[in-house]
Amino acid sequence: MNNIGIVSYGHTKYDFLPDDAPQLMKGVIDECLESVEKGISPKDIGLVITSCVDNQFSNQHQTGALALRYLGNLDAEAFRVEAACSSGSMAAYVARKMLTAGYVDNALLVGFEKMSGVSTPTATSILIRGGSPEENLNGITQPAAYAMMAQIYMNKYGATEDDYALVSVKNHSNAMRNPLARFHKKLTVEDVKNSRIIASPIRLLHCSPINDGAAAILLSNRPKDFTDTPVFIKGMGLAHDTLGVFERSDPTSVMASKKAAQKAYKEANVGPKDIDVAEVHDAFTPVELMIYEDIGFAEKGKGYELIRDGTVNFDGKLPVNVSGGLKGKGHPVGATGIGMLVESFLQLRGEAGDRQVSEVNLGLVENHGGTGATSVVTILGR
Amino acid sequence: MNNIGIVSYGHTKYDFLPDDAPQLMKGVIDECLESVEKGISPKDIGLVITSCVDNQFSNQHQTGALALRYLGNLDAEAFRVEAACSSGSMAAYVARKMLTAGYVDNALLVGFEKMSGVSTPTATSILIRGGSPEENLNGITQPAAYAMMAQIYMNKYGATEDDYALVSVKNHSNAMRNPLARFHKKLTVEDVKNSRIIASPIRLLHCSPINDGAAAILLSNRPKDFTDTPVFIKGMGLAHDTLGVFERSDPTSVMASKKAAQKAYKEANVGPKDIDVAEVHDAFTPVELMIYEDIGFAEKGKGYELIRDGTVNFDGKLPVNVSGGLKGKGHPVGATGIGMLVESFLQLRGEAGDRQVSEVNLGLVENHGGTGATSVVTILGR
């Protein structure tokens, strides 16, 4: 599958945006097609997969067919995939399989979410659907579910509130350099620790924000036909865990991400030490420390050392979430996975502007759904 | 792809059911696995694709991961696909591609919808999402969109209200023989013509009902390992049209179904005359007459002759919707496409009980989304 590459992208700012869901889709489809360096015709795109998390956000069924309108090719095949917050990476995972099998040569992936202005009490009451039916029924929201994980991790491994705060501080600092990011506001550890409790130990400034946004990428099995500098998907893994945190033998690990990373490393024939830059799923920042462990950047129970010693900072040895992450860049849920792939694409092409990391040969993207019942890990290179 | 076969199924009654969405899923997964004649282990199933149309119905994201719980194998891969009312067939379409490419050997498809008890004014206000953004914004509900098609078809080709009523009469009559059907109530042409107007010329008794339900099938690329009498998918086509009825040059044709049928016939190397029994997407019964034309059962503008002369009746030469169709059997939207495949499976195995059609060698299933922006046509045989 290693001939499959990303050749172009589209990406809105993540923010409260005036556009509705169809306008968000149209914007990134246009941008993605127009930025193909050697040009592409809509009829050369045989497959479109859309990613959005909730129909109540999109106010639309059949977003696949709608994407074909904006693509300008009703002869392509199109459908939506959904796996909660990992939907974007899932779209890429499924498309890559279709490309590898030779069913189509080029596939367009369109992730979007219109989270503001939804006609229900709060977006959180929609996002609770990402957990298990039992958690949903008992009012365990996503922050509450992550709080259980964060509390157990502190008790078991000695992570502190300062460690959790440092992740938010780092990701907001990184977002300062990203013009597409939701927040351009520096935080201190004290800011985070003084922000209001949402579900102890999770505070407001540990939570990724509600916002709108969209991202698209064009995947090809002949990427050099479209650009001299494609970014190849070197390895990709999909794995699952129980939906409910309460069902897990070890809630301090996102086991699906661990398994997905192992699959991705194996396919790419590399290890954690070979990765130069990573985007990980910090929907609630404490989990970022657990992810370091699950993707092999740190030993079990020692993830917090990487944030304490600065390894994962922008100027550290292994920068994580240089985009600002879900916390600082934003988390329009259906767009997120594709937006993370866009960040890795930019870093590998040396086009990340003020946030460009030097000497990037391999990037990793970890994108999970809910508290990790689904996870997709992707390794990208030139 | 012609080695891919259906080996077992699960299917609830379509009705207002006490089960919630997870219970509906569990029920059909259990039934589908337990009815595999030569037995199967959950670990032999490498892929699960779920089909449901709206998260507001399911109250759940990540139904793929939830299905793995009920399957009892977290090592399989799982995701949801959505393409409005064609989601069930889309799940089969995508799974068949994955099986053909050899990524997995066996795939479980789970369609379901919990439409009753939804916390919004009406299910219709959710199902309006199946149309174009413009139709949605202007309050063109699904019955209203179909009404435009039905009115133009009458004007253009001379179909009458009696013809439309006869489709409902036939499908309700057929549903009498189906224990899984929502309605067991005979209708007369007068009943239909006297029922209240929903969107002229569409009356209440032209409309498929809101109800709950679920259906599952097990697809295998080694189907004889699991049963001596699998039903093979001989051909399958996916095609699209504009989302909005107003965007179409000819609103009296479901063009996506026409194109999808042509692809399916071509792959199966058969024609309309070879089909013995068909299930078609009579979400609103007038469209059934147009579908006869689009799938080649009748010339353009002459579909109504088949209902007038009884060709498509249970005892006719080419029975259509012997299950009762969406009108008589019911239309739990995410389950529908898979339920239609189950009906064809039963007819081809000679297991359809009181509604068994004699000498069935080839079955056809036509399943479209919204008013036909997405359509999947499947041809099944032994």
- pLDDT of amino acid A131: 94
Residue A196 CA to residue A346 CA, distance in Å, equals 35
- pLDDT of amino acid B117: 82
Contact A129 B53 (CB under 8 A): no
B61 within 8 A of A84, measured Cβ to Cβ: yes
CA torsion sign, A260 to A264 to A267 to A271? negative
Peptide bond into B286 cis (omega under 30): no
Cβ of residue B118 closer than 8 Å to a chain A Cβ: no
Which residues from chain B sit within 8 angstroms of residue A101, using beta carbons?
A: 97, 100-101, 103
pLDDT classification of B120: cutoffs 50, 70, 90: low
For A88, the closest chain B residue by CA position comes to B79
Average pLDDT over residues B347-371: 98
CA torsion sign, B160 to B166 to B167 to B168? positive
pLDDT classification of B279: cutoffs 50, 70, 90: very high
- pLDDT of amino acid B125: 86
Q: Cα–Cα distances in Å, from A106 out to A7, A77, A225, A380, B12?
A: 10, 11, 11, 18, 39
**Residue recorded with tokens 């127009």:** A34
Average pLDDT over residues B162-180: 98
Which residues from chain A sit within 8 angstroms of residue B241, using beta carbons?
A: 65, 74
How much of chain B, in percent, has pLDDT values that exceed 90? 97
- pLDDT of amino acid A121: 66
Residues 6+ apart with CB under 8 A from A156: A252, A301
For strands B213-220 and B5-11, give the pairing.
Answer: antiparallel
CA torsion sign, A116 to A118 to A124 to A128? negative
For strands B5-11 and B106-113, give the pairing.
Answer: unpaired
- pLDDT of amino acid A208: 98
B162 half-sphere exposure, CB direction, 13 A CA radius: 5
Average pLDDT over residues B28-46: 98
A353 half-sphere exposure, CB direction, 13 A CA radius: 10
Beta strands in chain B (DSSP E): 5-11, 47-51, 77-82, 106-113, 197-199, 202-203, 213-220, 231-240, 277-279, 362-369, 374-381
Using only the alpha carbons of chain A, give its radius of gyration.
19
- pLDDT of amino acid B121: 66
Weakly modelled stretches of chain A, pLDDT under 70 = 1, 119-121
Q: Which two tokens stand for residue B324?
A: 């009762």
CA torsion sign, B86 to B88 to B91 to B97? negative
Is B184 catalytic? The answer is no
- pLDDT of amino acid B329: 98
A280 within 8 A of A208, measured Cβ to Cβ: no
Contact B62 A369 (CB under 8 A): yes
Residue A207 CA to residue A272 CA, distance in Å, equals 27
The amino acid present at A3, given as its one-letter code, is: N
Residue B361 CA to residue B364 CA, distance in Å, equals 10
Provide ipTM, 2 decimals.
Answer: 0.97
- Alpha carbon of A48: minimum distance to chain B alpha carbons (Å): 12
**Residue recorded with tokens 């997905």:** A260
Q: Cα–Cα distances in Å, from A205 out to A109, A180, A209, A282, B190?
A: 31, 19, 9, 12, 65
Is B331 catalytic? The answer is yes
Cβ of residue B94 closer than 8 Å to a chain A Cβ: yes
Q: Is the pLDDT of residue B145 over 90?
A: yes
- pLDDT of amino acid B87: 98
pTM of the model: 0.98
Domain spanning B5-120+210-225, CATH class: alpha beta
Give residue-wise pLDDT tens across range B181-220: 999 999 999 999 999 999 999 999 999 999 999 999 999 9
Cβ of residue B126 closer than 8 Å to a chain A Cβ: yes
Name the residue ranges covered by the structural domains of chain B: 5-120+210-225
Contact A83 B84 (CB under 8 A): no
Q: Which two tokens stand for residue A269?
A: 């024939």
In the set B11, B172, B206, B331, the catalytic residue is B331
